[in-house]
């Protein structure tokens, strides 16, 4: 463990630089920030020195939209900061709760609260957004729900536009989705599960893009999982709309075929889609339509998951698998390493307005040393997360964090899943 106030120098690594290049070099951190990075950097007297031993020296991951602060899982996965969803008990809809959440992870993890868009996340009256911004909220979020009232959504976007904040939206028309737990189609019919058409996503996105245009406001769709929804985002970006999109690894790794065994670890929100939509997500990551890949980390114990599929709670523990599953796209030639860390670090940091997510002088010294090729097997029984509800149980993956630093100080990550 490094000394809290000592400068840190990481030697012997391959630096992933902001221009996308990977070069052998050294990085020196002082006062919580990166002071220098490059081939000619050397340790100074009194520095803590960490030998990366040829590992990739990359920015710590910025996980946008987690449902629980689960530091052992985040540290295992190389995540140094996360945007916390407002869907807490009670919700993050008043300044005091936002302020408390913003302090909850320090010093070895930073929590960036996402303010509830409406009181109680009920989609009706706007919450105290400006006061929550002053209390530490980094963006405004509709939570797991879609705001069905277009007037309320327009007022929200107008207000956040004036405040210079981004609205993070759930993209499913709630009137169509109802209590569905699956995407309509042959698989849902075979299983007898309550289902909703995939078009519920595109309908929600189309309306919200139109309202964001009217308000000249920025909107981010947290999970865009269908070809139709992605086409709308792609077209909006092409004409200069202030629209960004994210996705979680389950939607480029799995289709609704994964629900065939009724395993509730595959009960997600939105529901898993058909194979054509999965391929569309991969294409959208490749062409830049998707800006952010996030874990959607939502650890759920047996009381929520050991139930009939339709009665179980949606969500998966995703923090530990976020990095290796995204790196699978690099190995498959879909994206390169620089694009992977734009998706995982630089772009979410930019949306949250924090000076992190890049290995460059002046940025905060949140750094992960990674072996992108280290193989391991996901094991839900041995996860560092508070619950191991992952649909990737027993799946071989590659990519492991060897060392993690928050503000230039080493983080002791829990060793699990050898």
Would you state the pLDDT for residue 309?
93
Look at residue 386 in the predicted model and tell me its pLDDT: 85
Predicted local confidence at residue 299, as pLDDT: 92
Distance CA 247, CA 234 (A): 14
Listed residue (152, 157, 155, 139) closest to 246, CA to CA: 139
Per-residue pLDDT, 413: 55
**72 touches 100 (CB < 8 A):** no
| H or E element that contains 322 | helix 322-331
**Do residues 36 and 377 make contact, with C-beta atoms less than 8 angstroms apart?**
no
* C-alpha torsion angle, residues 297, 299, 300, 302 (rounded to 10): 140
pLDDT digits (tens, 9 = 90+) for 359-411: 999 999 999 999 999 999 999 999 988 888 899 999 999 999 999 999 999 99
- Expressed in angstroms, the distance from the first to the final Cα of the chain is 21
Residue that wins the pLDDT comparison between 340 and 262: 340
309-344 burial, b at 16+ Cβ within 10 Å, e below that, comes to bbebebbbbbbbbbbbbbbbbbeeebbebbbbbbbb
- Mean pLDDT over 38-60 rounds to 93
Place of tokens 């007297």: 45
Q: What percent of the chain has pLDDT over 90?
A: 91
| Spatial contact of 91 and 121, defined as CB atoms under 8 Å apart | yes
Structural domains for the chain: 61-352 (3.20.20.140)
Which residues neighbour 60 within 8 Å (Cβ) at sequence distance 6 or greater? Answer: 78, 79, 80, 81, 345, 356, 357, 366, 367, 368, 404, 405, 406
Opening angle at CA 74, ends 108 and 253, nearest 5: 160
Whether 93 and 86 have beta carbons less than 8 Å apart is answered as: yes
Of the candidates 215, 151, 145, the one whose C-alpha atom is nearest the C-alpha of residue 177 is 145
pLDDT at 70 over 60: yes
Summarize the confidence of residues 173-198 as an average pLDDT: 95
Please tell me the pTM assigned to this model: 0.95
**Per-residue tokens: 252:** 């480029």
Residue-level pLDDT at 1: 45
Which of 206-215, 260-269, 364-373 has the weakest average pLDDT? 260-269
- The three-class DSSP label of residue 8 is strand
Pairing verdict, β 367-377 and 56-59: antiparallel
**pLDDT per residue over 93-139, tens digit each?**
999 999 999 999 999 999 999 999 999 999 999 999 999 999 999 99
* Token pair belonging to 266: 């595959």
Rounded-to-10 torsion of CA 64, 129, 170, 245: -50
Give the residue-averaged pLDDT of 214-237. 98
Task: Please give, one letter per residue, the 3-state secondary structure of 104-134.
Answer: CCCCCCEEEEEEECEHHHCCCCECCHHHHHH
The mean pLDDT value for 55-82 works out to: 96
pLDDT value for 414: 52
């Amino acid at each position: 463990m490094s000394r809290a106030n000592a400068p840190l120098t990481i030697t012997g690594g391959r630096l992933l630089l902001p221009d996308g290049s990977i070069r052998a070099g050294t990085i020196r951190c002082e006062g919580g920030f990166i002071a220098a990075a490059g081939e000619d950097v050397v340790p100074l007297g009194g520095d803590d020195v960490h030998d990366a031993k040829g590992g990739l020296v990359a920015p710590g991951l910025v996980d946008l939209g987690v449902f629980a602060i689960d530091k052992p899982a985040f540290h295992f996965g190389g995540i140094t900061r996360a945007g916390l969803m407002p869907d807490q008990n009670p919700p993050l809809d008043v300044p005091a709760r936002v302020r408390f959440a913003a302090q909850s992870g320090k010093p070895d993890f930073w929590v960036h609260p996402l303010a509830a868009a409406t009181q109680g996340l009920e989609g009706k009256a706007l919450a105290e957004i400006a006061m929550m911004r002053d209390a530490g909220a980094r963006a405004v979020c509709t939570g797991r729900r879609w705001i069905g009232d277009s007037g309320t959504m327009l007022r929200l976007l107008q207000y956040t536009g004036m405040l210079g904040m981004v609205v993070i939206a759930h993209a499913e028309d709630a009137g169509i989705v109802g209590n569905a737990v699956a995407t309509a189609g042959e698989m849902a019919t075979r299983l007898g599960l309550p289902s909703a058409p995939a078009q519920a996503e595109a309908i929600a996105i189309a309306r919200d893009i139109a309202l964001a245009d009217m308000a000249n406001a920025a909107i981010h769709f947290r999970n865009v999982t269908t070809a139709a929804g992605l086409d709308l985002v792609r077209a909006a970006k092409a004409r200069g709309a202030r629209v960004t999109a994210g996705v979680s690894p389950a939607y480029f790794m799995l289709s609704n075929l994964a629900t065939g065994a009724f395993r509730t670890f595959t009960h997600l929100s939105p529901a898993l889609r058909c194979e054509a939509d999965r391929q569309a997500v991969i294409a959208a990551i490749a062409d830049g339509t998707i800006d952010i890949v996030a874990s959607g980390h939502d650890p759920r114990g047996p009381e929520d998951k050991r139930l009939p599929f339709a009665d179980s709670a949606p969500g998966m523990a995703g923090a530990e698998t976020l990095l290796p599953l995204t790196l699978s796209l690099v190995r498959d030639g879909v994206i390169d390493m620089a694009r992977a860390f734009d998706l995982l670090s630089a772009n979410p940091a930019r949306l949250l307005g924090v000076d992190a997510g890049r290995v460059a002088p002046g940025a905060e010294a949140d750094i992960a040393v990674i072996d992108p090729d280290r193989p391991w097997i996901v094991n839900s029984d041995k996860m560092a997360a508070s619950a191991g509800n992952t649909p990737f149980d027993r799946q071989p993956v590659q990519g492991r964090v060897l060392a993690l630093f928050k503000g230039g100080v080493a983080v002791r990550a829990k060793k699990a899943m050898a």
